[in-house]
Structure 1
Amino acid sequence: MAAAFVGRVESREAKVGIVGLGYVGLPLLLAFHAAGFRTFGFDIDPAKIEKLQGGKSYIHHIAEKRIAALVGSGRTVLTTDYSRIAEVDAMLICVPTPLTRYRDPDMSFVVATAEAIAPHLRAGQLVTLESTTYPMTSEDLLAAILEQGSGLQAGRDFAIAYSPEREDPGNPDFDTNSIPKVVGADTAAAGDMAEALYATVTARVVRVASMRTAEAVKLTENVFRAVNIALVNELKVIFDQMGIDVFDVIDAAKTKPFGFMPFYPGPGIGGHCIPVDPFYLTWKAREFGIHTRFIELAGEINSGMPQWVVGRLVSALSDRLGKPIRGARVLVVGLAYKKNVDDVRESPSLVLMEMLEERGALVDYYDPFVPVMRRTRKHGEFEGRASIGWSPEALAGYDAALIATDHDGIDLATLVKSVPLVVDSRGASRALSPELQARVVRA
């Protein structure tokens, strides 16, 4: 099985299917297409398929000319028809793995995808899960569903592997091709198959001992980030009370050439990874009688940051303008969870807007990357809201502005000159003149 598969990969005869065409799946589809493979893109959302077939991109940092090249080549099938899974040699599953309202793993997308694939699975295929998940998902959940639904056996009839996605949307320095790919498989032969496949689109493949090891790698990367962000968020609150700028502290500390890695505070954490992934490990650890105190403490600190930021804004409105938050017009600057992307998944900006409106504020937002709010799992009430137009006249109508995302290109000088109170939760105003900085409240 492995030798024939590797031969087809090397000759580019292998057909590669990507299941789930979001922020992870679509770049992967483009990468395999660029490497010369015949590719299949599967998604349950017909609107996505229709846009792609029309040469349109629904992800800001993916240029439409790349989509046009994909569609125009004649080597790509874009479909909602999962029966065509039977035509591919490898299928890479890139579906969401969110949390439930109780912060438990929501595996419904993985389960539904596996159940849709299983009837069409055939001998000799490679199935790789890329969705972030808890250790042992691939062997205990995915493989079991595929075996039951297909009548085939993993490791004997088809190969299964896990390779965690490592996308960083909007990062100009790293992309699918340059980020090393971690791969773990259920057998040595499956590992050879997965390694051969990924080696065609990534600079380096890192083989690990097992699928559960690969699953743990991804969680470790994001737990590391979550804990360190929580640390600097806590330091921000402490230093603020001492009249110390945490960004000045970090800038000086990072001049040490060893023993320090800079992380930066903000109004909370967002995106699919950091707010979600650590709790997958926390949930699985309970099965083994382990209480993940460090991870959960980091989660408490990070999830508490929006409340601290709103408290700073409320106090500043009262102290500087003599106004209550109720009835105040507040502009949230930046809706995406990080700079220079259109991704609003788990964005703290949405929490900030919700909290401000609960206190009676009249809230609008400005984000050049998010002209109209799409529906999100937790904040459906914001669907359809539109970004305001950016002008001194429009800005002057607000009592306060809260910088929640530090997109490049936003004219912060005009913002500070036009709005009576500007609260900065990202340290973005540090680039302004000392005179303008003096008018900004840090949060």
Structure 2
Amino acid sequence: MSASAPPRPATASDLPAQLTLIATKRYRVGIIGLGYVGIPLALTACKAGFPVVGFDIDAQRVAQINRGESFIKHIPTEAISAAIKEERFRATTNFDELRDVDAIIIAVPTPLTKHREPDLSYVENTARTIAPRLRKGHLVVLESTTWPGTTDEIMRPIFEQTGLKSGKDFYLAFSPEREDPGNPDFGTSTIPKVVGGDGPDALALANAVYGALVVKTVPVSSSATAEAVKLTENIFRAVNIALVNELKVIYGKMGIDIWEVIDAAKTKPFGFMPFYPGPGLGGHCIPIDPFYLTWKAREFDVTARFIELAGEINTAMPHWVVDRVAEALDRRQGRGLNGARVLVMGIAYKKNIEDTRESPALKLIELLEERGATADYHDPYVPELPRTRKHGSLAGRASVPLTAEIVARYDAVLIATDHEAVDYPALVEAAQLVIDTRNACARAGITHSKIIKA
């Protein structure tokens, strides 16, 4: 069936009929937000046999998708073009077409304000866009990470202002995204999906939809519980990364290699899970999500001290790394950062992808330049820096070529992202000084006095 199939009315009273539509792959899926979450989900639904319409306010992105082109490196162009050609998927900026789909899945950003408070403007604006187009029988699912209660306290009132009632006229649910861009072992369809609904019917319908898309669903008692699950997953990672970052600083003072310690500790078959230090946290989830809970906790007169401390440690890491660069230049070359030339290796927030959201490398460049250094970058996945909310002044900067002659011109090379496409032996040979925040050189089997771990 084409993604542009004509309207087919459905009502909240015909739950068995809707379950039949899902079972027979005639259920139409609409996805709002065609980014790192929305596109993989759309392709997964198409592969499962459902007609999918993607909605986005970015007309250029919509046109690119409809041409069958991918703008995300780890998502093959062939996957999008095949879905488009077979008329299983198309994108649009016309939100009036929401009336024609059966499920509306929301995958929009949930960033922080400059005061580190939740910014739900994307979610609220999307809900207000949906509301005048909401009809009986619609299933609306939020996937964006947020504080527990958002679905019930923010979205439901907006929808019910239309006169329709959740659980009676439409279904409302929350199912947190679990995307890990660039992960070769897990994709959308192979990751279990947590599902919480506003009432048993909403849970049953949302669970049936996702059950047709992914390897396993994990139903929970409420949308708030599902929202808490996602925060817990990311807070767990943020806290443990803060722990090893703090241990890195302590052991470094003692002359002990934190990476060697972790590699030895992880041989214990129980009671230990390896996490690794770095120059700071990046990506849309880990640096942001913990603060959604610390903010919400204040409503209940609770201070999330442990989580906030972890945030402070991780936020301080770029400053600590820049101090190590300055110290290394002073000891090895008898100079400080002022007037130094530094090449930052890798600008994406993690290896082998082009995503720069919340990347600590951007903060590193700003801190280096604040202290008088000239900072350039090389990244095989990011030829030019995009505009970001926090680091707009860096937009438009281009990746410098990586040749021995160019590397030799810099006083120091700072490895911020450990892309596997980089020839680290050649890099170390050409560089005057290497500050490695990712243990990339050691993993490549390189030992040299010019390498400093940070």
Report if the CA contact (8 A) 1:2-1:190 is conserved: no
- Which residue identity lines up with residue 66 of structure 1 in the other structure? A
Which of these residues, 206, 212, 227, is aligned with residue 239 of structure 2?
227
RMSD: 0.9
Deviation of 1:432 after TM superposition, in Å, equals 4.2
For 1:135, the equivalent position in structure 2 comes to 148
Which of these residues, 438, 441, 445, is aligned with residue 426 of structure 1?
438
Separation in 2, partners of 1:433, 1:24 = 36
For 1:28, the equivalent position in structure 2 comes to 41
Normalising by structure 1, what TM-score?
0.98
For 2:364, the equivalent position in structure 1 comes to 352
Report if the CA contact (8 A) 2:380-2:421 is conserved: no
Report if the CA contact (8 A) 1:159-1:186 is conserved: yes
SS, match of residue 434 in structure 2: strand
SS, match of residue 40 in structure 1: strand
Separation in 2, partners of 1:422, 1:215 = 42
Which of these residues, 414, 423, 439, is aligned with residue 411 of structure 1?
423
For 2:326, the equivalent position in structure 1 comes to 314
Which of these residues, 389, 398, 403, is aligned with residue 391 of structure 1?
403
Separation in 2, partners of 1:73, 1:110 = 31
For 1:281, the equivalent position in structure 2 comes to 293
Which consecutive aligned stretches of 4+ in structure 1 deviate over 6 angstroms post-superposition?
A: none
User: Does 2:56 match 1:43?
Assistant: yes
Separation in 2, partners of 1:75, 1:414 = 46
For structure 2, the residue ranges without an aligned partner over 5 or more in a row are: 1-13
Separation in 1, partners of 2:367, 2:300 = 37
Separation in 1, partners of 2:189, 2:137 = 26
Separation in 2, partners of 1:185, 1:431 = 45
Report if the CA contact (8 A) 2:52-2:88 is conserved: yes
Can you list the C-alpha shifts for 1:404-427, whole angstroms capped at 9, x where unaligned? 001112111111111111100111
Which of these residues, 421, 426, 448, is aligned with residue 437 of structure 1?
448
For 1:237, the equivalent position in structure 2 comes to 249
Can you list the C-alpha shifts for 1:178-232, whole angstroms capped at 9, x where unaligned? 0000000011111110011001110000000100000000000011000000000
For 1:182, the equivalent position in structure 2 comes to 194
Which of these residues, 91, 96, 119, is aligned with residue 132 of structure 2?
119
For 1:249, the equivalent position in structure 2 comes to 261
Separation in 1, partners of 2:96, 2:172 = 19
Deviation of 1:433 after TM superposition, in Å, equals 4.5
With 103-112 and 67-76 compared, the bigger mean Cα shift is at 67-76
The 5 A counterparts of 1:85-96 are: 85-96=98-109
SS, match of residue 321 in structure 2: helix
Deviation of 1:67 after TM superposition, in Å, equals 1.2
With 42-51 and 207-216 compared, the bigger mean Cα shift is at 42-51
Can you list the C-alpha shifts for 1:46-95, whole angstroms capped at 9, x where unaligned? 11101111221111100111111121111223101111000000010000
Can you list the C-alpha shifts for 1:273-327, whole angstroms capped at 9, x where unaligned? 1100000000000000000000000000000000000000001111101122111
User: How many equivalent residue pairs?
Assistant: 441
For 1:205, the equivalent position in structure 2 comes to 217
Deviation of 1:26 after TM superposition, in Å, equals 0.6
Separation in 1, partners of 2:176, 2:241 = 22
Which of these residues, 286, 300, 306, is aligned with residue 294 of structure 1?
306
Can you list the C-alpha shifts for 1:120-170, whole angstroms capped at 9, x where unaligned? 11100100000000000000101111111x321111000000000000000
Report if the CA contact (8 A) 1:429-1:437 is conserved: no
User: Does 2:75 match 1:62?
Assistant: yes
SS, match of residue 128 in structure 1: strand
Separation in 2, partners of 1:314, 1:151 = 62
For 2:11, the equivalent position in structure 1 comes to none
Separation in 1, partners of 2:121, 2:445 = 50
User: Does 2:333 match 1:332?
Assistant: no
Identity within the alignment, %: 56
Report if the CA contact (8 A) 1:430-1:437 is conserved: no
Cα pair distance change 1:28/1:432, threshold 3 Å: closer
SS, match of residue 437 in structure 1: coil
For 1:154, the equivalent position in structure 2 comes to 166
Report if the CA contact (8 A) 1:181-1:206 is conserved: yes
Which of these residues, 387, 398, 401, is aligned with residue 375 of structure 1?
387
Separation in 1, partners of 2:216, 2:184 = 19
Normalising by structure 2, what TM-score?
0.96
Report if the CA contact (8 A) 1:129-1:162 is conserved: yes
Separation in 1, partners of 2:246, 2:41 = 37
The 5 A counterparts of 1:76-91 are: 76-91=89-104
Report if the CA contact (8 A) 1:23-1:59 is conserved: yes
Cα pair distance change 1:214/1:371, threshold 3 Å: same
Separation in 1, partners of 2:168, 2:325 = 61
Can you list the C-alpha shifts for 1:356-404, whole angstroms capped at 9, x where unaligned? 0111111110111111111111111111111111111111111111000
Deviation of 1:437 after TM superposition, in Å, equals 3.2
Separation in 2, partners of 1:162, 1:324 = 51
Separation in 1, partners of 2:443, 2:396 = 33
Report if the CA contact (8 A) 1:135-1:213 is conserved: yes
Report if the CA contact (8 A) 1:332-1:401 is conserved: yes
Deviation of 1:438 after TM superposition, in Å, equals 2.7
Separation in 2, partners of 1:118, 1:77 = 22
For structure 1, the residue ranges without an aligned partner over 5 or more in a row are: none
- Which residue identity lines up with residue 299 of structure 1 in the other structure? G
Separation in 2, partners of 1:415, 1:312 = 20
SS, match of residue 141 in structure 2: strand
- Which residue identity lines up with residue 360 of structure 1 in the other structure? G
